[in-house]
Structure 1
Amino acid sequence: MTDVLARYLPEHAVAPLFELIKLYGVHLKIVNDRVTRHGDYHRDASGYHRITVNASLNQYRFLITLVHEIAHLAAFEKFGRNIKPHGDEWKLTFQRLMVPFIRPEIFPGHLLPLLARHFRNPKASSDTDATLSLALKQFDEKTDKNYIFEVPYGALFRIHNGKVFKKGAQRIKRFECQEISSGRVYLFNPNAEVELLP
């Protein structure tokens, strides 16, 4: 198992994460990329704790995602199944499990203050923290996609499911974009990746 983890995690995170996996009896499955989520946790009918994580994630996002999912398991075991999935109990558990990994031996120095800030009050997804998300994306494989904040006002772009939008004005943090086929307006995070159309 440590050989497999070593392909997806920073070197100094492998042993402590393997200990967490053993401690909580996790059945880890590394899966093909899913657009809507980086990972998930569920307890199946036979009582096994199953966690899936996308294989395409860079090593730092993979680490955060795996600890995020283990935190669900740990929070449910400690506080019971009636807690909110991303409520206070989960946040406290996620913080406690993640703190030992926020070190310069594991993360690049410039990510450490962003991680420290994010984990003061972790969100349901690190993608909702645009600053951290953009910093983590620099370690992804390069693509021909653009971020919404780079797309010019009024330009057309396509998202992963083929729908085409026209970029509109920025509201506080997100951008209003109109879907061409329906005329409906949707809000996009600035770090959403899209394909700019000619």
Structure 2
Amino acid sequence: MISIEEALTGKVPQAALSYCTQLWVEAPFDFKLTRARSSKLGDYRYDPKTANHSVTVNHDLNPYQFLITYVHEVAHRVVHQPKSRQKPHGIEWKRTFQQLMLPLLRPEVFPDDILRALAKHMKNPKASTAADPKLLQAVSNYDLTKSDGPTLRNLLPGQEFVFRKRAFRKIKTNRTRAVCLDLSNQRRYLIPILVEVEQVR
């Protein structure tokens, strides 16, 4: 079984590696890299039967998106209290996320464009990066497999596209995400409108 440091090496910026490892030392959890998920970038779960905490992050994220997602989920781990009725992204989580991200808001960790957008985002962090179009755009500039394809925002309702090797039909656009129908299982998903897609002509 590999250590948390080994699991994070190459996934987060090198300048953030020791800090991310220390977060795990202070509040341990099972960590797993997962396949690409169109509905979420990561998640935190608690199993009351085993009192086990687990965090997952999509394996294909660029280092900056991976780092933000990792700390986001660790904040859930830190504030979790069994049988608590606090909101998942309520004030306790917001404060903890802000505290955990503060040591990382420096140029050794993030490029200037992400740093500026992230600093504004952290004044009142939202449930996901996708809910902040400026931050999402800044982070997306560093995607590992960037192409010149259209973004989901460019497509009209009813148009079909491929995203992460899955076929969808765009139904409607909300503020930062689009409601899309997965053509293979007929389920609806919310996908950030700034992601790049392959349009089906």
TM-score (norm 1): 0.81
* Equivalent in 66, 88, 91 of residue 85 of structure 1: 88
* Equivalent in 12, 21, 26 of residue 24 of structure 2: 21
Q: Cα 1:42–1:178, aligned 2, differ >3 Å: closer, same or farther?
A: closer
* Equivalent in 36, 52, 74 of residue 48 of structure 1: 52
* Code of the aligned partner of 1:5: L
Contact 2:130 2:176 in 1 (8 A): no
**Structure 2 residue aligned with 1:118:** 121
Q: Cα 1:102–1:174, aligned 2, differ >3 Å: closer, same or farther?
A: closer
- RMSD (CA atoms): 2.9
Distance 1:55 1:70 in 2: 16
SS at match of 1:163: strand
* Equivalent in 150, 153, 164 of residue 149 of structure 1: 153
Report the structure number with the largest CA radius of gyration.
Answer: 1
Distance 2:14 2:22 in 1: 14
* Equivalent in 126, 132, 135 of residue 135 of structure 2: 132
Contact 2:158 2:169 in 1 (8 A): no
* Code of the aligned partner of 1:56: D
Runs of 4+ in 1 over 4 A off after TM superposition: 173-179, 186-189
Higher relative contact order (CA 8 A, sep 6+): 2
SS at match of 1:52: strand
Aligned length: 188
Q: Unaligned regions of 5+ residues in structure 1, if any? A: none
SS at match of 2:31: strand
Residue 144 (structure 1) shift = 6.1
**Structure 2 residue aligned with 1:66:** 70
Distance 1:191 1:52 in 2: 23
Contact 1:157 1:166 in 2 (8 A): no
* Code of the aligned partner of 2:137: L
For residues 123-176 of structure 1, give each alpha carbon's deviation from its aligned partner in whole angstroms, at most 9, with x where no partner exists: 11111111111111111112464213334x678332545332478xx88x4688
Distance 1:175 1:56 in 2: 20
**Structure 2 residue aligned with 1:164:** 169
SS at match of 2:198: strand
Q: Cα 1:163–1:88, aligned 2, differ >3 Å: closer, same or farther?
A: same
TM-score (norm 2): 0.80
1:100 lines up with 2:139 in the alignment:
no
Between the aligned residues of both structures, percent identity stands at: 35
Distance 1:124 1:37 in 2: 11
Q: Cα 1:50–1:196, aligned 2, differ >3 Å: closer, same or farther?
A: same
* Code of the aligned partner of 1:100: P
1:11 lines up with 2:14 in the alignment:
yes
